[in-house]
Structure 1
Amino acid sequence: MGHAHTQSAFFSPASAAEPAANIGFPSSGGGSVPANAYPQPGQPAVQQQQQPQPQQPMAQMTSQFGQMGLNTPRPAHDTRTVNLVNLPLNPLELMTTMPPEINLPPTASFSQSPTRNADPSYQRSTLNAIPTTNTLLQKSKIPLALVLTPYRSLKPGDPEVPVVSDTVIARCRRCRTYINPYVTFIEGGQRWKCCMCNLSNEVPQLFDWDQEKNEAADRYARHELNSSVVEFVAPTEYMVRAPQPPIYVFVMDVSYSAISTGMVATAARTLLESLDRIPNADDRTKISLICVDSCLHFFTLPEGSSEPSMLVVGDLDDVFLPKPNDILVNLVEAKAGIENLLTRLNDMFVETNNTGNALGAGLQAAFKLISHVGGKVVALSATLPNLGPGALKNREDSKILGTTKESTLLQAQTSWYKTFAIECSRSQVSVDMWLFSSAYTDVATLSGLPRYTGGQTYYYPSFNAARSEDALKFAHEFGTVIADPICLEAVMRVRASRGVRMSAFHGNFFVRSTDLLSLPAVPMDQSYAIEIQIEDPITAPFVVFQTAVLHTTAFGERRIRVVTLALPTTSSISELYSSVDQVALATLLANKAVERSNQSKLEDARDAVHNKLVEILGTYKATMTNSGSGASPQLVAGDNMKFLPLLMLGLLKNTGLRHSTMIPADVRAYSQALLTTMPSQLLVPYLHPVFYSLHNMPKEKLIIRAPNAQCGTISDQGVVLPHPLPLTSERLERHGLFLIEDGQNIFLWVGRDAVNQLVLDVFDLPSYADLRSGKGTLPVLDNAFSQRVNAIIGKVREARRGPYYPHLYIVKEDGDPALRQWALSLLIEDRMETLPSYQQFVNKLKDSINDKSF
C-alpha cells in the first residue's frame, strides 16, 4: 500500500499493458466447423463471419512484441490536439504505444548505445521533458514524478542487466552519483565531470584495466558507460557486515479453518516441491517453520536427524524460543528432515478443533529467531488473528459500506502491526502476508506489515483447496514467489541534477531519512512512485535521475543496481504537454488516490481524481487552444494524453475506489494494495482491462511478421492474439464467445444464443443449457478452436509480469447475476450503477471545465 513520506496537498503539482511473451502450445488440429465461423442460430454452420473493419494504421503494430523496443515511440514534441467528445479510442494503441520520445541534445551522451537511457519498464517519468522552472511546472498542473521498478522480471528475449564485476566503482566525490553514459571526460580522459553537480573527479586507476586478462581495456566498452541499467559488485566498503544468507521463516496458521480449507496441505506440498527452487546458490540458505493456533508450535531438526521434534509454547504474552538451536536450519544439511516435516505437517493437525490464531505471537517468534541476521518472514493466515499480541476484532459492518465511514475499514485497526513492522525494518526483516479466508480477515490492517518492510500481500477470498482451481492458483503464486531471486538488506536512494529534489514517496518501504528508503527485501516486479519538486531554475540542457539500490543478492554478493534516466529540459509549455507519459501519470495518480482514501475518505479520493483531471485538461485547453478559458463544446487533450481520462475512469470504477455498497472491506483493501505496488505494465490492464472476441477471430491477422497466422496459433512472435475491443457491452453478441481480463481474473463470456457446435468445441458439452457458470478450467479438446482458445488463455496468463495466476470464470449471459455483474464491471466504458459511461464522464469533465476559468 502507498506510504508517503511528506504530507503534501493531494495531487500537488510539486509533489501498458506489457508485451506478451512467446509461449508454446500444441498446433491446431482439425475441427468439424471452421474455427472462425460460429454463426448465429439459423445461419449455415460454415458461413464465414463478416471480416472486421480495416484496422487503424496503429493496429498493424499488434501486441505480439515480446521484446523491449519493438513498440512504436511517440514523436518528440508531438503537439497534436484531439477532441475527446465522441472520439473512438483504439485499445490496441494503449497496449503498443511507447511513451513520448526522449529528445536529448546530440551531445548529451558520449555513448551511442541503444541502452544508454532507461527503458520505461525500469524507470519512467510523468514528463519526458523537465520544465526549467517550478513556475512552468505549476502552470502545467502536471505532477512531476518517477515511477520505478528496479527489479523487474525478465521475459524470454529481454536483455540481462549487465554486471560490473571488477569492483572498480567511479562515483562523484561531492554528490555520490555513479559514473554513467552522461558524464564528460576531460583533461585528456584523466578526469570526468559529473552530470549532476559538474564536479571534476579523477578516473580510478584500474578503470581502463582488464583485471581478468591482466591487460589494458577500452573504457568506452565498460557497461556503466553504455547501459542505463547496470549492477556493480560492491567492494567491502559497501558492507557494514558480511552479506547475509537468504533466510526464510514460514509462520503458518494451523487452526481448524486453515486445515479444513486445505490451505496447510497445499502450502506444505508446494513448499516441499519448491525446496530445490529456493535461492541457495552457495548452500547458506536457512529455513524454519513455526505453526500457530492458540499456541506456538516450533520444530527442531537436529543435525544428522531426519526426525523433526515439535516444541509447543503456550505463553503468547512473553514470546520466547524454546531452544536456541535446531529451529532455524541449513536447507541443505537438514533437507531430509525438512522434507519429512512438510510431508507430515497436515496430518499433525488434521484432527484439530482449535479456532485460535496467535499470528502476532508467531511473528514475534520469527523476529526473535532471525533479527540478528535479517531475512524473509512468510506468514500464511486463514483466519482473523484473535489471540495474543496483534489480536484483531471483526469490525466488518455492511451498513457503512458506501458511506462516509467506509474509509475507517481501510485504516489499520491497531498500531501494533506498524510498530512491529518498523522494528522489523530496522533489523532487515521483511514480511509477506498470504491471507485466506471465507470470512473477514482485515486485509487493511495486516497489509501494513508488508507495506513498511518491503514485502507483498496476497489475498485468496473464499479459498478452498478442494476446488482444483483454487489450489492451482495458490500453488503457482506461492511457488513462484519463494523461488524468485531475493534481494535482501536493501536501501534505495534517488539522486537528481541540481535544482531538483525528491519530495514524497509511495510504495512498500520505510523512509529511513529524508531520501533514503529502507527495503529489507525487494520483491520482483514491485513498483514505487517518487514525486519531484523543482527548487531552483534549471539552466542545463538536460537533467539526470539516478536510482541506486544497494542490496545483498541471494547468492551472497553485495551489489548496487543503478538505473539512470536522462531527460531534456524545456521552457515551452507545449513541449511540456507533448512530453506527458500518460501511463506513468496514471500510475502516480492511482498511488495518490489510495493514499488520500486512507488519510480521509474514499469520496475525497474520487473527487480528487476528477478535480485533477479537470485541472489538467482545463489548463491544457486554456493554454494550448484558441478557445482559451471560454466555454467550448469540445474536450481537448494532447494526443499523448487521450487515454488519461479513460484510465482515470477505470481507476474510479476499480474495486479499490469505486462507490458501492457491495464491495467487502477486505476486497477493497487488497485492490488498493495492488494499485500501489503493481508496475505500470500490470497496472494498465488492471485499470483498463483487455476485451477479445473469440467466436469470430479472423482467419488472417494483419500483423507485420505473420500476415497469414491465425489468432490462437503460434507465429514467430508467439501466440497470435485477436484485436482488442473497446470496453463496452455494445460489442457483446448474443451468439458470441468473449474474453475479458484485467491481469487478476479472466472471464469467458458466453452469449445465450451460442450455437451448440461452439459449446461442444470449447466446453465439450452438448448445448448452452448444459453449461454451468463459475470458476473453472477449460478442457483441451481435439479440435482447432479449443486449442486456439486455450492458447490465447495461456498467453494471457503467461504474458503479464509478476507471480499472479488469474482464475478463469465461465460467465453465461443469463447465468449467475453476481458473476455476470462482476464481468460487466470490467467494461469500464459502460454506465455502471451510479457511475457514468465513458462519454458521460467526458461530457462531465467538459462541463466542469466550462464552469471554471483557467
Structure 2
Amino acid sequence: MPFQPIPQPPHSAGEPYRGLRARIDASQIPSPIDSIETDKENWEKQTYMTLPGVNPPLSTTDFVAFDQGNSNPKHMRVTTWNLPNSAHLTRECDIPLAVVVQPFADLDPREEPVPLVDCGPSGPARCAQCRGYINPWCTWVAGGNRWKCNLCSHETEVSQEYFSNLDPNFMRLDHADRPELNKGTVDFIVESDEYWAPPPLPKLAPTYFTPEPPPPTPREPVPLHYLFALDVSMIAVESGFLQSVCSVLLDVLYGGTAADGSTFEPCFPQGCRIAILTFDQALHFYNLSADLPHAHQLVVGDLEEIFLPLRNGLFVDPWESRTVVENLIGSLAERNSQTVIRESCLGGALIAGLASLAGRGGHIVMFQCTMPTIGPGALEPPTDESHVYGTDKERTLFIPRVRAWHQIAEECSDEGIGVSMFLGMSRTIDIGSIGIVPSTTGGELFFHPRYNPARDQIVLASQLQRLVTRTTAFSCVMRIRCSHGLRVSKYYGNFQERSPTDLTLGVFDSDKAVSALLGHSQTLDERQYAYLQCAVLYTSVDGQRRVRTCNLALPVVSLAGNVFRYADMDAVVCHLARESMTSLSSRRMAQIREDLTDKCSSILLGYRRNCAAAAAQSQLIIPEAFRALPIYTLAITKSKPLKGRNVSADVRNYYAKKILSMSVRNTMQYLYPRLLALHNLDENAALADATTGHFYLPSLMRDSHMFMEAHGVYLIDNDEFMIFWVGASVSPQILLDLFGVDDIGALDPSDMTELPILDTRLSQQVQYILGHRYSQRGRVPKMLVVRQNMDGMEIEFSDMLVEDQNNSAMSYLDYLCLVHKQIGAALTNGGSLSSNASLRGSPW
C-alpha cells in the first residue's frame, strides 16, 4: 500500500511565499531529526570528556560527561567552542557570542555529583584583584607560594593553611585531592559572615508594618522557609481549584494513597518550615504551634497598612505540627464553601509574605484564581487588546499596568525571597502585570486556564512535587567573570539586575538558566585560552551558605572556518529566543520576527562569504553546525509569544516568561516538539533486552503532516503539552491495545487524563516512553487526545507541526526560499543584511 499523507490538519492560517521560488528540493531540505538521531548514536554509548577542543553533544542527547576542568555542558554552553579572536571576526561570522549557564542543572545518575569543598573558616582562595575563585585553569608560581589568576593574570599569595609544594610539572602535590583544582564545577562552603546576604537599603516609606523589624545586618543563613498562600475567593472555591490545592499540598507534605491503592511517600524537604496564608478581600494568618488543639486564625482587613500579627507559630516544622496543619489544610475548602466574596488581594498577600520572610529569605508559593482587584497593585479589567496589535502600543501588553508590581518584585528579590505562582483562572488575570514578580525573583509561573480538577489536578500535583524536590537555592547573587579581552554586555533571564555585574535571585533552581551576551574589549591572543567563570553565592535548602563556580576554558582562533566548525546551534537558538522575548516590551512583534529572519540569514551569509565563497551563487549553502538553524528560527516566530493571529496577552506573557528561564534542552524541545509514530513501533522498541536489560528508544519523525498517515496514532510532546493524535482510519486493534476501546467514536478525549495501563505490548512500550520523558523533566505535562477532524483541540496539535504553513507563518520549505533569497540579494548587491533593509524581503 503506497504512503498516503494526511491533508493538512485544521490550523491557524499560514503565510504563503511571495515572489519567485528558489530551486530547493523539498526532499533534500535539512532535517533537525537527522542531526538529533545521529548525535544520539554518537554520544549515548561513549563518555564526553570536557577538555577543550571537542564539540559537545547536543542538548537533546542523554549523554554522560566527565568533568576534566571545563564544566559539564549541562551547566554551561557557549554559542561557539572556538572563540573568535576579535570583534571584527565576530562581525564577519555574525554568530552571537553568548553563554548559557544552568548552575544547578540535574546531572545524569551515571555522572559524578558536584563536589562540595570546605576550605575552612577563611573560605576558598580568591584572586586579590578580580576576586575570581580558584579553579583548574590557574597556575602556580614562586614554588607554590603564589597562584596566577587565569582571568586577570594577577598573582595572589597563598595562605599558609592552603600551601602545598609543587612537583616537577609545577602542579601541586595535592592536586588530585583538591576537587577545586581539577573539576570545572565545584561547590564551596563559605562560613564567614562576609558571604552572608546583605540587608536591603532602607526605604523612605515602609511597605508593611511590624513591631519587630528585621535587623539592618547581613542575614544569617537559615533553612529554606515556604509560605503557601491560597486564594479562597468564590471563584477558587467554585472551580474546585482550592480543593485540589489542599489535597495536593497534603500529599506533598505527608504522602498519601494513590487511586490504584498504592501509597506514596511525602516529598517535602526535611528541616524546612512552612506557613499557611489565605486571602480574599482580607488576609488570614494562622498560628500553627504544635501545642495548640487547632490552628488559630488572625485576620488583617486593612490592606493599606499591612502588618504581621504574629511571629511565634507562623512558621513551623510540618511534622511537629502535623495534626494542626493537616486539620487546617483539610478544612479550608469546606470552611470557605459558602463564601460570596469575589475579590482577591494578591498584592496584599505578597506583601504579607514579604513581611513574614524578611530577614531570612524563603519561597512564597501562591495559588491564585482571579485578577487582583483590591489592595496593593489592584488592577482594572483590561480593555480589548486586539486593537493594539500591529501598533506601537503592542508593547504595553508585556509590561505591568501598575507600578506596585515592580516594587513588590524588587523588594522580594532584595530580601532573598522567590515567588512562584500557580494560576487556575477562568478569565484573564493579567500575567503581564502580576508575572513580573515571579520573573524578577527567579520563581516560576504554572498556568492552568479554565481549571478542571478531573483534567488538571494530576498535572498540578506533579508541578508542586517538582517545585519542592528539585535542587533549589535561595538568597542568590550571580556574577559571570571573563578573562582579559572579553566582557559581559547583557544578561537574559528571570532575575533582578541590581548592578551591571551582579544578578539577584530570590530562588534559583535546577530548571532555570541565565544567559549572557559577550563582547570583545580587545583582540585576544590565539596562543592562550579565553576563560569564563560563573559564580553563584547562595543558601542551600538546609541553610548552608555556599558558592557554586562553573568554569570554561575556550580556544581562541582567527579563522572563520574554525569558529563555524565548533559552533553550538543549540546555544545560538536559545540565545535568539531569549533575546526575542526580552524585546517584546520595547518592539513590535512584526519587527522581532523580521529581525530573527535577518539574524538567521546573516549567520548563513557569514559562512558563505568566509568559508564557501567559491560555491555557485544560486546554491544554498548551510554549514554542518547550523543545518537546522532555519527551522528553529522559524519555530521561534511561530511560538505563542510571537505568532500572529489571535493569542491572548496572558498566553503570550506566560510563554515569554517561561522561554526566558528555560534550559537549552527544554528550549529546543519546546520549539521543535518530539513527534513519534506509535503504530509503527518496532517489536523491541522501549522494551528491555532479555540478555542485556538495555532499552532503546524509537526514532523521532519530522514535525509535518506530510509524513503522517490517516491510519496512524502519533504522540507529540513539547514539554508543556503531550498530545495523542488518532487518525480517522486507525485500526481497531491499535485502539484496543493503546486505549482499551476498539472504536474511535468510543474514545472520549474529555474523559482521558491518563493513558490506561493495559497488558499489551504497545501499551507497555508507550508507558515506558512516557515514563522516560517524565523522569527527564521531573513532572507530568498536560495530556490531550485528539481525533482527526473530530476534536477542536486538533488546532493545538496542528500548530505544533512547525514545518507546516501555520501560525500565520510560512512552511519550512518556503522559509528556506526566503532565507536563500536574502542571502542571494546580499551576495549580489554587497553589504550586510543588518544594515540594508532592502535586502530583507520579509513577508511580515
> In which range does the TM-score fall when normalised by the shorter chain?
0.7 to 0.9
Partners of 1:93 and 1:484 in 2: CA distance = 23
Alignment of 1:771 with 2:747, yes or no, is yes
- Secondary structure in 2 matching 1:851: helix
Alignment of 1:274 with 2:252, yes or no, is yes
Partners of 1:692 and 1:74 in 2: CA distance = 35
Indicate the residue corresponding to 1:416 in structure 2: 404
Partners of 1:166 and 1:189 in 2: CA distance = 17
- Secondary structure in 1 matching 2:643: coil
- Residue 601 to residue 503, structure 1, CA distance change in 2 (3 Å): same
Partners of 2:431 and 2:45 in 1: CA distance = 36
Alignment of 1:828-839 (within 5 A): 828-832=802-806, 834-839=808-813
Indicate the residue corresponding to 2:28 in structure 1: none
- Residue 809 to residue 67, structure 1, CA distance change in 2 (3 Å): farther
Alignment of 1:653 with 2:631, yes or no, is no
Moved more, 717-726 or 443-452: 717-726
Partners of 1:169 and 1:827 in 2: CA distance = 50
Indicate the residue corresponding to 1:443 in structure 2: 431
- Secondary structure in 2 matching 1:676: helix
What amino acid does structure 1 have at the position aligned with 2:158? V
What amino acid does structure 2 have at the position aligned with 1:475? A
Which residue of 785, 790, 798 maps to 1:810? 785
- Secondary structure in 2 matching 1:564: strand
What amino acid does structure 2 have at the position aligned with 1:253? D
Partners of 1:341 and 1:672 in 2: CA distance = 36
Partners of 1:58 and 1:598 in 2: CA distance = 34
CA shift at 1:384, angstroms? 0.9
Which residue of 56, 63, 87 maps to 1:134? 87
What amino acid does structure 2 have at the position aligned with 1:637? I
- Secondary structure in 1 matching 2:518: strand
Which residue of 516, 530, 549 maps to 2:502? 516
Mapped contact 2:277–2:284 kept (Cα < 8 A): yes
Indicate the residue corresponding to 2:342 in structure 1: 355
- Deviation string for 1:420-445 (max 9, x for gaps)? 11112222222112111121111121
Mapped contact 1:375–1:430 kept (Cα < 8 A): yes
Mapped contact 1:749–1:812 kept (Cα < 8 A): yes
Partners of 2:610 and 2:705 in 1: CA distance = 36
Alignment of 1:197 with 2:197, yes or no, is no
Partners of 1:807 and 1:768 in 2: CA distance = 21
Relative contact order higher in (CA < 8 Å, ≥ 6 apart)? 1
Which residue of 457, 472, 484 maps to 1:486? 472
Indicate the residue corresponding to 1:841 in structure 2: 815
- Secondary structure in 2 matching 1:265: helix
Partners of 2:613 and 2:37 in 1: CA distance = 32
What amino acid does structure 2 have at the position aligned with 1:138? R
Indicate the residue corresponding to 1:238 in structure 2: 195
Indicate the residue corresponding to 2:69 in structure 1: 116
Which residue of 114, 117, 126 maps to 1:161? 114
Moved more, 428-437 or 197-206: 197-206
Q: How many aligned residue pairs are there?
A: 754
Alignment of 1:342 with 2:329, yes or no, is yes
- Secondary structure in 2 matching 1:505: strand
Indicate the residue corresponding to 1:563 in structure 2: 550
What amino acid does structure 1 have at the position aligned with 2:300? V
What amino acid does structure 1 have at the position aligned with 2:150? C
Alignment of 1:264 with 2:242, yes or no, is yes
Alignment of 1:301 with 2:276, yes or no, is no
- Secondary structure in 2 matching 1:416: helix
Partners of 1:71 and 1:633 in 2: CA distance = 41
- Secondary structure in 1 matching 2:572: helix
Mapped contact 1:74–1:98 kept (Cα < 8 A): no
Which residue of 573, 578, 588 maps to 2:565? 578
Alignment of 1:42-121 (within 5 A): 59=37, 62=40, 69=47, 95-96=60-61, 114-121=67-74
Moved more, 387-396 or 590-599: 387-396
Moved more, 181-190 or 687-696: 181-190
Partners of 1:56 and 1:251 in 2: CA distance = 47
Partners of 1:323 and 1:114 in 2: CA distance = 49
- Deviation string for 1:468-496 (max 9, x for gaps)? x3110001111220233431211111111
- Residue 635 to residue 594, structure 1, CA distance change in 2 (3 Å): same
Partners of 1:219 and 1:789 in 2: CA distance = 48
- Deviation string for 1:76-117 (max 9, x for gaps)? 599xxxxxxxxxxxxx98844989x9xxxxxxxxxxx74311
Mapped contact 1:208–1:219 kept (Cα < 8 A): no
Partners of 2:585 and 2:111 in 1: CA distance = 37
- Residue 678 to residue 338, structure 1, CA distance change in 2 (3 Å): same
What amino acid does structure 2 have at the position aligned with 1:819? M
Which residue of 224, 228, 243 maps to 1:250? 228
Mapped contact 1:251–1:362 kept (Cα < 8 A): yes
Mapped contact 1:594–1:605 kept (Cα < 8 A): no
Partners of 1:717 and 1:676 in 2: CA distance = 39
Partners of 1:819 and 1:395 in 2: CA distance = 27
What amino acid does structure 2 have at the position aligned with 1:779? P
CA shift at 1:302, angstroms? 3.7
Unmatched segments (≥5 aa) in structure 1: 1-36, 41-54, 79-91, 102-112, 211-215, 700-708
Alignment of 1:554 with 2:570, yes or no, is no
Alignment of 1:144 with 2:144, yes or no, is no
CA shift at 1:711, angstroms? 3.6
Indicate the residue corresponding to 1:23 in structure 2: none
Which residue of 751, 760, 766 maps to 1:783? 760
Unmatched segments (≥5 aa) in structure 2: 5-32, 166-171, 197-217, 255-265, 832-844
Alignment of 1:397-408 (within 5 A): 397=384, 399-400=386-387, 403-404=390-391, 405-408=393-396
Alignment of 1:646-685 (within 5 A): 646-661=631-646, 663-685=647-669
- Residue 676 to residue 572, structure 1, CA distance change in 2 (3 Å): same
Alignment of 1:218 with 2:205, yes or no, is no
CA shift at 1:127, angstroms? 1.6
What amino acid does structure 1 have at the position aligned with 2:532? F
Indicate the residue corresponding to 1:762 in structure 2: 738
Indicate the residue corresponding to 2:529 in structure 1: 542
Indicate the residue corresponding to 1:83 in structure 2: none
Partners of 1:490 and 1:278 in 2: CA distance = 24
- Residue 218 to residue 372, structure 1, CA distance change in 2 (3 Å): closer
Partners of 1:200 and 1:447 in 2: CA distance = 46
- Residue 353 to residue 77, structure 1, CA distance change in 2 (3 Å): closer
Partners of 1:115 and 1:74 in 2: CA distance = 9
Partners of 2:489 and 2:158 in 1: CA distance = 32
Partners of 1:749 and 1:72 in 2: CA distance = 41
Partners of 1:670 and 1:714 in 2: CA distance = 42
Mapped contact 1:486–1:523 kept (Cα < 8 A): yes
Indicate the residue corresponding to 2:715 in structure 1: 739
Partners of 1:164 and 1:560 in 2: CA distance = 10
What amino acid does structure 2 have at the position aligned with 1:363? L
CA shift at 1:329, angstroms? 3.1
Alignment of 1:749 with 2:706, yes or no, is no
Mapped contact 1:255–1:292 kept (Cα < 8 A): yes
- Secondary structure in 2 matching 1:671: helix
Mapped contact 1:759–1:766 kept (Cα < 8 A): yes
Partners of 1:766 and 1:303 in 2: CA distance = 55
CA shift at 1:169, angstroms? 1.6
CA shift at 1:570, angstroms? 0.9
CA shift at 1:562, angstroms? 0.5
- Residue 59 to residue 368, structure 1, CA distance change in 2 (3 Å): closer
Mapped contact 1:493–1:515 kept (Cα < 8 A): yes
- Residue 786 to residue 354, structure 1, CA distance change in 2 (3 Å): same
Which residue of 777, 782, 793 maps to 1:819? 793
Percent identity reads 29
- Secondary structure in 2 matching 1:315: coil
Alignment of 1:171 with 2:171, yes or no, is no
Indicate the residue corresponding to 1:9 in structure 2: none
Partners of 1:59 and 1:303 in 2: CA distance = 56
CA shift at 1:217, angstroms? 7.5
Instruction: Tell me how large the CA RMSD over aligned residues is.
Output: 2.9
Indicate the residue corresponding to 2:161 in structure 1: 206
Mapped contact 1:63–1:721 kept (Cα < 8 A): no
Partners of 1:588 and 1:443 in 2: CA distance = 23
